[in-house]
Amino acid sequence: MKYSNLVGKTRLDAPSDADSVNARLLTQAGFVEKLAAGIYNYLPMGKKVLDKVCDIIRDEMNKVDGQELFMPILHPVSIWETTGRIKTMDDVLYKTKGAGDKDFVLGPSHEETVTPLLRDNVNSYKDLPLSVYQLATKFRDEPRAKSGVLRGREFGMKDMYSFHLTEEDLDEYYERVSEAYFNVFKRCGLKSHIIEASGGAFSDKFSHEFSVETPAGEDTIIVCEKCNTAQNLEIAEGKIVGPDEKEEEERALEMVEAKRGFSVEENAKLHSVPESKILKSVVYEVEEVGLLGVAIRGDLNVSEVKLENYLKKQLRPASPELLKKHGLVQGFISPVNMPEESKIPYIADHSITNIKNFVTGANQPEMDYVNVNLGRDFQIDDFTDLVEVKSGFECNKCSSPLTEMKAIEVGNIFKLGSRYTDAFKFKLTGKDGTLKTVYMGCYGIGTTRLVGTVVEASHDENGIIWPKSVAPYMVHLLTIGNDDNVNKHADEIYNSLKEQGIEILFDDRDESPGVKLKDADLIGIPLRLVVSKRTLSENSVEWKVRAESDSKNIRISDLDTEIQDFLSN
Amino acid sequence: MKYSNLVGKTRLDAPSDADSVNARLLTQAGFVEKLAAGIYNYLPMGKKVLDKVCDIIRDEMNKVDGQELFMPILHPVSIWETTGRIKTMDDVLYKTKGAGDKDFVLGPSHEETVTPLLRDNVNSYKDLPLSVYQLATKFRDEPRAKSGVLRGREFGMKDMYSFHLTEEDLDEYYERVSEAYFNVFKRCGLKSHIIEASGGAFSDKFSHEFSVETPAGEDTIIVCEKCNTAQNLEIAEGKIVGPDEKEEEERALEMVEAKRGFSVEENAKLHSVPESKILKSVVYEVEEVGLLGVAIRGDLNVSEVKLENYLKKQLRPASPELLKKHGLVQGFISPVNMPEESKIPYIADHSITNIKNFVTGANQPEMDYVNVNLGRDFQIDDFTDLVEVKSGFECNKCSSPLTEMKAIEVGNIFKLGSRYTDAFKFKLTGKDGTLKTVYMGCYGIGTTRLVGTVVEASHDENGIIWPKSVAPYMVHLLTIGNDDNVNKHADEIYNSLKEQGIEILFDDRDESPGVKLKDADLIGIPLRLVVSKRTLSENSVEWKVRAESDSKNIRISDLDTEIQDFLSN
């Protein structure tokens, strides 16, 4: 392709509303253009990248015996009523009306179509297990579309659904798909982690997320590099590190004046102690329970998801108004000598058991206790793991330090059990003549999101750095100096590589070297070749790999071999 | 693929609501399944066929320098207001609301997105001409979805849009795309015709349709086999054939009693004359004109579209009530001696000029004139071509007989001129520094419709007959008799062909030969191979091409060569 003919040119400036690296670079380099919030056009180069991502996914899904099909976008509302998701997903569903006043949902996911489709197309228990998938467009009316193509309202997705006669068979297939997912992300040049999904108090789904490390990720994950495992921050487990003061002598409890702000930092500073010596209290409003205090070491945070999962109740931090109403003094709450009239139940994280002579609030404005000791000055009946793990904690398995990382969720897999098959009465008569439950799994990868993730994970200050596997072209050829001999050689190289079936973009514009080199970096094609008078004086071209900083000269006679080498590595 | 694993099996009975051959066969053979009226699931074999059709189209569009991109389904309503199509297409638009109460249209076509997209991505007049296309899903809320996948509400379409600096350049590209379209349909095994589109009085679009001959087509076209041209019935031209009675002697006008019905057939029978001797009158209600009589030879019909195009007015046949109100006697109207009080203007088709001694109504109930002659008994000032051409008419160019054929429209191409580029203010500064109009063409092929058309054009009473180019598999292997040796050889053939990359479906079920052979015919894979004890006794397999009636035996040792031959022809 000659750059002069290409639809989708680079732009000098990023669009003013680009809210993320992927939106900025993909738009500026001519891969996508926003039509509306969360709704993008894919220009020819963007379409090529998306196709390559989809081809990788297709290949891996075929390897796990997935059969590709294609389901409609318009879903009769009745099937969404059958599963009840018309209510539970109401806030993100696009709806439309058709002829005869019929109501439709624009599919955000296809459990509602695939389950009856398979029910009507599976004749015998012998047909199971089986797995079908599609690469299609989904709709989700996110309240706020953001992060470029990472969180779209109209977006590409691979969704696969598997059907099994036993839970064991589903478990086994679930593992096979996990492996396939790792392969997909690896082939896209990404380092992915599988993570047990965190859910709130009411989640009884069994599911995993696949996350990719990127500096600008929306999620935080906790990684053990040694075990090669990752956990979702919200439910991550790990060994707390910090001082062990069990042997420290308990000093006499004292109440002191404390003209300070509410933060742990200010508290530690005022009393000249490390933050770990602050006994922190966080008060929650828990459904059906009321107020609940949680005690934790001052330098650590409470994981609300862990707390919800422990209590099996929904909760939220108590508002200052609610604290006041209950007679609790914001910033000075502690389980030590609480006045009877404002007493609340307390639970604690294990982290407070190693510390002696805590500093904490005295349940009065601007008064603190110092030298507070568990057992002597306050009691807690209920200890559990409520801590939000952070970098420095140790892996429960190998004791290596854990690392906190920003990540983007690119895929997820669910064991749905019989939720949907029961709803659509999809059962099969087994060998023994009785009706058997059909177990179902579902497996998603956001395809357009994956394109954005590659950009988030692989770019520098000058532009995108496409991995070869998903690059729109393999070679970016350009000339320096509008010279007949230079142009002639560039044309020859272009035609020769094209004939060899190598995907090549030839910047044939009569532009300054600065503009062409800058655009090449921005677009991010893996290999850049420059032809100039200087290189031709040595019968060579300049060879620069986008992901590397150095360039070198290659003799034109060696070019074909070198490129074949480059492409096959 | 082993048939036992395939999702989408054959069914004994067609769905009761299948209203067409394609709906019946595609559903019964396991290619598609209806989700709602006009909305279909594509099961794995259906998806394969659709992919092959799309790949052929993609290849031909790339050959005419089309660049593939991908545009959204959700269109902000504002862009549809810009072109005014929010009103003119209102009855077929699906609409939805998104976050922030924003209104969207589900794209039935993409002029509204592609024009601003290209406006914002074309920097210079030097970038033109260019052409972009997509293979995507469209939505059109047809009042009645019918004919299976031929007329869907959600359907696949290839839509291409080209942009030019001059009308001549658009004309030239339009011709290139026409050629590409012929190639597409030919490669899909279809015989297509290009036809100037017929429009009513208000159509000023320049466009052509591509139609494929099929017995069950929705449209009628008039074909000259010799010139290899086709016309839309409604505006087809051709030389009228029939008696030349110019030399016949004019007999004396007579009024006779005529107790008859209103049809030409009854009239001719009553008077014992051929239908061509009836002077037929058809009365229309024409906007801004009122009633208008059209005289035509009795055995011919008036083309209302020709009449509209001639008058440049909208019209409809006058209702019996309106005729009566005007004093006209239904069934007995003629231009001969019309009573002054009910006189209406008359025009005539050229066909009446060759006939002498017509029979026609006498403008009184149950009274006819016989021996009516033009010029002597009635005058017509205005003659023109108003006849609906039919089989037997002669080609205006080569005088060969024309043939009336049923056909399905599978594609259309339009010269849009500057309608959309003007609406979106897409102009470019030319070489001379002045702003230039951008001319636009658009080119559609219904991809899912094309799948249905192939089935309509290529089937027999037993099932589908897929052309090799779009078949889901090339070889359908089956065994007769559940015999170890037979199974062993079938397995070997299956594995060997699969390893050679040949698309093969192996019916490995333990079913009766009758069921398996019937299913093979229904599914319609181009080549059927049968392994049985009998064929193995001659070291051979039975070889039957779906499109042919005879089978033969092929030695297993020759199988690979024969199949390669078969596939490459």
Residue-wise pLDDT tens digits, B108-137: 999 999 999 999 999 889 999 999 999 999
**Does B394 reside within a domain?**
no
Q: How far apart are CA A195 and CA B552, in angstroms?
A: 59
Q: Is the pLDDT of residue A60 over 90?
A: yes
A·B CB contacts under 8 A = 168
For chain A, the average pLDDT equals: 94
| Same domain assignment for residues A194 and A215 | yes
| Same domain assignment for residues A163 and A135 | yes
Among residues B106, B127, B157, the one where a domain terminates is B106
| Minimal-distance CA residue of chain A relative to B118 | A7
| Same domain assignment for residues A146 and A57 | yes
Phi/psi at B106 (5° precision): -85, 115
| Neighbouring C-beta atoms of residue A353, cutoff 10 Å | 15
Q: How far apart are CA B232 and CA A296, in angstroms?
A: 83
| Minimal-distance CA residue of chain A relative to B39 | A72
Strand ranges for B37-127 from DSSP E? 39-42, 66-68, 74-76, 94-98, 102-106
How far CA A427 is from CA of A65, A418, B380, B419, in Å, comes to 22, 10, 76, 56
Q: Which amino acid belongs to residue A516?
A: K
> Do the Cβ atoms of A309 and A235 come closer than 8 Å?
yes
What count of residues does chain A have? 569
The confidence score (pLDDT) of residue A203 equals 46
Q: Is the pLDDT of residue A466 over 50?
A: yes
**Does B323 reside within a domain?**
yes
**Going by DSSP bridges, is the β-strand pair A130-139/A435-437 parallel, antiparallel, or unpaired?**
unpaired
> Do the Cβ atoms of B446 and B461 come closer than 8 Å?
no
Q: How far is CA B518 from the centre of its chain?
A: 31
| Same domain assignment for residues A61 and A154 | yes
Enumerate the residues of chain B whose CB falls inside 8 A of the CB of residue A3. Answer: none
Quick: pLDDT tens for A274-294.
Answer: 999 999 999 999 999 899 999
Query: What residues of chain B, 152 to 171, have a C-beta less than 8 Å from chain A?
Result: 153-154
Q: What is the CATH number of the domain that holds A478?
A: 3.40.50.800
The two tokens of residue B62 are 């790339």
Quick: pLDDT tens for B267-286.
Answer: 999 999 999 999 999 999 99
B569 close contact with A: CB closer than 8 A: no
B33 close contact with A: CB closer than 8 A: yes
For B107-131, the DSSP string reads -SS-HHHHHHHHHHH---GGG-SEE
Quick: pLDDT tens for A336-363.
Answer: 999 999 999 999 999 999 999 999 999 9
Q: How far apart are CA B567 and CA B549, in angstroms?
A: 18
Q: How far apart are CA B497 and CA B475, in angstroms?
A: 9
**Does A40 reside within a domain?**
yes
Who's near A166: CB < 8 A, 6+ residues apart? Answer: A439
Q: How far apart are CA A445 and CA A451, in angstroms?
A: 11
Residue with tokens 């020769």: A496
Give the confidence band of A458 by pLDDT, cuts at 50, 70, 90: very high
Enumerate the residues of chain B whose CB falls inside 8 A of the CB of residue A123. Answer: 9
For chain B, the average pLDDT equals: 94
Enumerate the residues of chain A whose CB falls inside 8 A of the CB of residue B46. Answer: 69-70
Q: Is the pLDDT of residue B205 over 60?
A: no
Say how many CA atoms lie within 13 Å of B476 toward its Cβ.
Answer: 24
Distance from CA of B151 to the nearest CA of A (A): 14
| Same domain assignment for residues A288 and A436 | no
For A229-242, the DSSP string reads EEEEGGG---B--S
| Minimal-distance CA residue of chain B relative to A67 | B44
CB contact under 8 A, B127 and A94: no
Q: How far is CA A290 from the centre of its chain?
A: 34
Distance from CA of B72 to the nearest CA of A (A): 6
Q: Is the pLDDT of residue B328 over 90?
A: yes
**Does B311 reside within a domain?**
yes
| Same domain assignment for residues B449 and B525 | no
Quick: pLDDT tens for B491-543.
Answer: 999 999 999 999 999 999 999 999 999 999 999 999 999 999 999 999 999 99
| Helix-then-strand count for chain A, H and E | 15, 31
| Minimal-distance CA residue of chain A relative to B77 | A36
CB contact under 8 A, A98 and B68: no
| Minimal-distance CA residue of chain B relative to A2 | B127
CB contact under 8 A, A4 and B142: no
Give the confidence band of A205 by pLDDT, cuts at 50, 70, 90: low
CB contact under 8 A, A67 and B50: no
pTM to 2 decimal places: 0.90
Average pLDDT rounded to a whole number, residues B22-28:
96
| Same domain assignment for residues A438 and A533 | no
> Do the Cβ atoms of B336 and B280 come closer than 8 Å?
no
Among A418-422, B12-16, B544-548, the minimum mean pLDDT is found in: B12-16
Tally of structural domains, chain A: 4
Average pLDDT rounded to a whole number, residues A56-61:
98
Give the confidence band of B16 by pLDDT, cuts at 50, 70, 90: confident
**Does B36 reside within a domain?**
no
Q: Is the pLDDT of residue A569 over 90?
A: no
| Same domain assignment for residues A418 and A429 | yes
The confidence score (pLDDT) of residue B249 equals 95
Enumerate the residues of chain B whose CB falls inside 8 A of the CB of residue A163. Answer: none
CB contact under 8 A, A7 and B142: no
Distance from CA of A500 to the nearest CA of B (A): 18
Query: What residues of chain B, 89 to 118, have a C-beta less than 8 Å from chain A?
Result: 94-99, 102, 104, 106, 113, 117-118
CB contact under 8 A, B44 and A132: yes
Q: How far apart are CA B433 and CA B329, in angstroms?
A: 68
CB contact under 8 A, B143 and A98: no
Enumerate the residues of chain B whose CB falls inside 8 A of the CB of residue A67. Answer: 6-7, 44
Enumerate the residues of chain A whose CB falls inside 8 A of the CB of residue B8. Answer: 69, 121
For residue B201, the 8-state DSSP code is T
Determine the residue among A67, A112, A448 to mutate to test chain B binding: the one whose Cβ has the most chain B Cβ atoms within 10 Å.
A67
Phi/psi at B217 (5° precision): -65, 155
CB contact under 8 A, A121 and B43: yes
Enumerate the residues of chain A whose CB falls inside 8 A of the CB of residue B106. Answer: 96, 106
Question: What string of H, E and C letters represents the secondary structure of A48-114?
Answer: HHHHHHHHHHHHHHHHCCEEECECCCEEEHHHHHHHCHHHHCHHHCEEEEEHHHEEEEECCCCHHHH
For residue B275, the 8-state DSSP code is G
Q: Which amino acid belongs to residue A60?
A: E
The confidence score (pLDDT) of residue B201 equals 42
Average pLDDT rounded to a whole number, residues A224-243:
90
**Does A4 reside within a domain?**
no
How far CA A411 is from CA of A113, A178, B176, B190, in Å, comes to 21, 10, 43, 42
CB contact under 8 A, A9 and B123: yes
Give the confidence band of A381 by pLDDT, cuts at 50, 70, 90: confident
Q: How far apart are CA A346 and CA A302, in angstroms?
A: 13
Q: What is the CATH number of the domain that holds A141?
A: 3.30.930.10
| Cross-chain CB nearest to B121 (options A43, A94, A139) | A43
| Cross-chain CB nearest to A126 (options B4, B141, B154) | B4
B187 close contact with A: CB closer than 8 A: no
| Cross-chain CB nearest to A143 (options B36, B70, B99) | B99
Among residues A48, A83, A107, the one where a domain terminates is A107
| Minimal-distance CA residue of chain A relative to B29 | A121
Average pLDDT rounded to a whole number, residues A446-474:
97
Stronger pLDDT, B13 or A167, i.e. the higher one: A167
B435 close contact with A: CB closer than 8 A: no
Quick: pLDDT tens for A94-129.
Answer: 999 998 889 999 999 999 999 999 999 998 899 999
**Does B17 reside within a domain?**
no
A125 close contact with B: CB closer than 8 A: no
| Cross-chain CB nearest to B47 (options A69, A99, A141) | A69
A144 close contact with B: CB closer than 8 A: yes
Strand ranges for A185-289 from DSSP E? 192-196, 206-213, 219-224, 229-232, 254-257, 279-286
ipTM value greater than 0.85: yes
CB contact under 8 A, A154 and B6: no
The confidence score (pLDDT) of residue A199 equals 56
Give the confidence band of B203 by pLDDT, cuts at 50, 70, 90: very low
Q: How far apart are CA B157 and CA B134, in angstroms?
A: 8
Average pLDDT rounded to a whole number, residues A500-522:
96
| Same domain assignment for residues A40 and A126 | yes
Residue with tokens 């035509």: B296
Nearest partner of B149 among B32, B15, B28, judged by Cα: B32
| Cross-chain CB nearest to A142 (options B44, B99, B142) | B99
Residue with tokens 């995507």: B136
Among residues A384, A418, A439, the one where a domain terminates is A384
Q: What is the CATH number of the domain that holds A294?
A: 3.90.960.10
Identify the three-state secondary structure at position B182.
Answer: helix
Q: Is the pLDDT of residue B198 over 70?
A: no
Residue with tokens 């609340």: A344
| Same domain assignment for residues A271 and A223 | no
**Does A7 reside within a domain?**
no
Enumerate the residues of chain B whose CB falls inside 8 A of the CB of residue A139. Answer: 73-74
| Same domain assignment for residues B140 and B231 | yes
The confidence score (pLDDT) of residue B200 equals 46
Determine the residue among B69, B119, B127 to mutate to test chain A binding: the one whose Cβ has the most chain A Cβ atoms within 10 Å.
B69
Q: How far apart are CA A234 and CA A256, in angstroms?
A: 36
| Same domain assignment for residues B340 and B429 | no
| Minimal-distance CA residue of chain A relative to B71 | A41
Q: How far apart are CA A11 and CA A522, in angstroms?
A: 10
Q: Which residues span the domain enclosing B216?
A: 47-71+110-236+405-455
